[in-house]
Amino acid sequence: MITFLQENLATILIALGILLVVIWVVHFLINNRKKGKTNSCGSGCDHCSSSHYCHKL
């Protein structure tokens, strides 16, 4: 088991790093969604034809 860990330590660390980044991004998106923020287009909703999907009237 220790031999396996020694041979694959770099791969394991990189995979854990990527996993942490993915978890952080999902957490960030969920928190923004709960706060009512959306990152779908980045511009104002004044002339957006899909604004009814973001903001229920």
Q: Tell me the per-residue pLDDT of 4-50, one tens digit each, with 9 for 90 and over.
A: 999 999 999 999 999 999 999 999 988 888 887 765 666 666 677 77
Can you tell me the distance from the alpha carbon of 34 to that of 50, in angstroms, rounded to the nearest whole number? 20
DSSP 8-state secondary structure symbol assigned to residue 47: T
pLDDT of residue 17: 98
Measured distance CA(48)–CA(50) in Å, rounded: 5
- Please give the Cα distance from 34 to 37 (Å, whole number): 7
